[in-house]
Amino acid sequence: MDGFVVDNLRGIFLMSLLCSVAAAISRKVFHINITRQLSVFENILESVKSGKGVTLEQARALLAVLDNNPDAMLDLLALARLTVSRFAASGAATAAAPASAIAAAPAPFTCGIINAKSGRCAENCSFCAQSRYHATASPVYPLVDDEVLLERARLLAENGVDYMGIVISGTGPSDKDFERICAAAQRIIGETGIKLCASLGILGMEQAVALKQAGFTSYHHNLETSRSFYPEICGTHGVEIREQTVANARVAGLRVCSGGIFGLGESWEQRLEMAETLRELNVDSIPVNFLNPIPGTPLENAATLPPREALMVIALFRLMHPGRDIVICGGRGKVLGDWDKLIFSAGANGMMVGDYLTTKGSPFERDLAMLEELGVRSRDVAGFRGVSAQAGIGDANA
């Protein structure tokens, strides 16, 4: 056998050996990655079963798994959905549901809003279409008449919506507007029976008690983002006053609805930071909004979140808050599009229907049809009429 043949055989052998070694290393790395991934999910499952939710460290580990193994997204969604089934959210359930209830998650609830007073807000939140600092096409009008509020409540109640949020622009309500809203609430509840949520801005303790006495079930006041990122989106007030409003509403006995907007430029670490703050404040319901960039605001050119990232936000907040309501609000259609059918798979158990404050939402009939198609809620009301939020709980970028 001449030297040329020998050299070629030697080369082929060495190449084959290298391929075998590479394959063995690949199998070893794959085995290590799968083992690590299973370990992360097993630890998370134990935390979820305890009712306490995943820790910051576990959430970070989960993000690392998703970064290295994109296909783990399906496992994340499955775990988030199982968490909804295990815990009866709709309020503040913190103990595991009976074994017989684990197979069926609570039916998702719905909420609708009315933009009862619009525009000329004295705060400069960078996402908000209603700030007087920004030149937007947002409508401007004072508090609407009681009859407008009542008609909106009737419309939502007729369409089977569970909650109606009365939302006004501004730092907080004037005494005159506050008294009118409380008086209107008693009439709305008496004539429609719908549950009422107020979103009136900064709230003192006496006002919170007055809302409770007027019949309001819930108070909505978002933190918007984490403590560390808040100065990047608002310079006219700090997040501390928002946290105090949340605390006031809770002490007054109101169901507290507080979350934020995602896609403002915050990091994943800052999203987890906000989740921890909400856990500290012991909120009952967490609205998840996605930035819908509004022309004329400082964030008008911001990129919208990819659908996968938006679903990851929902799932992680579910796992960190297993017994709380996770309700999907503003930006759902803009960011998720047809992917919004996966919000319940990702761990949500509530959804805002109809239009938002200054932007169009998903067509109301589409939302009801989607819930029925998914088998998560029956379409048992007689008829469906168009639902527009403008005078016609989330932010919808205000």
Kindly report, residue by residue over 75-117, the tens digit of the pLDDT: 899 899 988 877 744 443 333 333 333 345 567 899 999 999 9
Q: Once rounded to an integer, what is the mean pLDDT over residues 162-168?
A: 95
The mean predicted confidence, pLDDT, of the chain is 83
pLDDT band at 36 (very low <50, low <70, confident <90, very high): low
Least confident span in 24-33, 48-57, 122-131, 224-233: 24-33
The structure's pTM equals 0.83
Beta bridge partners of 92: none
Under DSSP, the state recorded for 132 is T
- Angle, vertex CA 206, rays to CA 202 and CA 211, nearest 5: 75
SS3 content of the chain, % helix, strand, coil (to 5): 45, 10, 40
pLDDT band at 19 (very low <50, low <70, confident <90, very high): low
Least confident span in 93-102, 223-232, 337-346: 93-102
Would you give the distance in Å from CA 101 to the centre of its chain? Answer: 25
Would you give the distance in Å from CA 363 to the centre of its chain? Answer: 19
**Distance separating alpha carbons of residues 315 and 50, to the nearest angstrom:** 17
**Radius of gyration of the CA atoms of the chain, in A:** 25
For residue 374, the model assigns a pLDDT of: 80
Give the pair of three-digit tokens for residue 196.
């009422």
For residue 35, the model assigns a pLDDT of: 64
Share of the chain above pLDDT 90, in %: 61
Q: Dump the DSSP string for 26-68.
A: HHHHHHHHHHHHHHHHHHHHHHHHHTS---HHHHHHHHHHHHH
Res 178 pLDDT > 80: yes
Mapped onto helix, strand or coil, the DSSP state of residue 297 is: coil
Q: Which domains does the chain have, with CATH numbers?
A: 109-373 (3.20.20.70)
Least confident span in 101-105, 348-352, 363-367: 101-105
Q: Once rounded to an integer, what is the mean pLDDT over residues 291-302?
A: 95
- Angle, vertex CA 381, rays to CA 314 and CA 155, nearest 5: 80
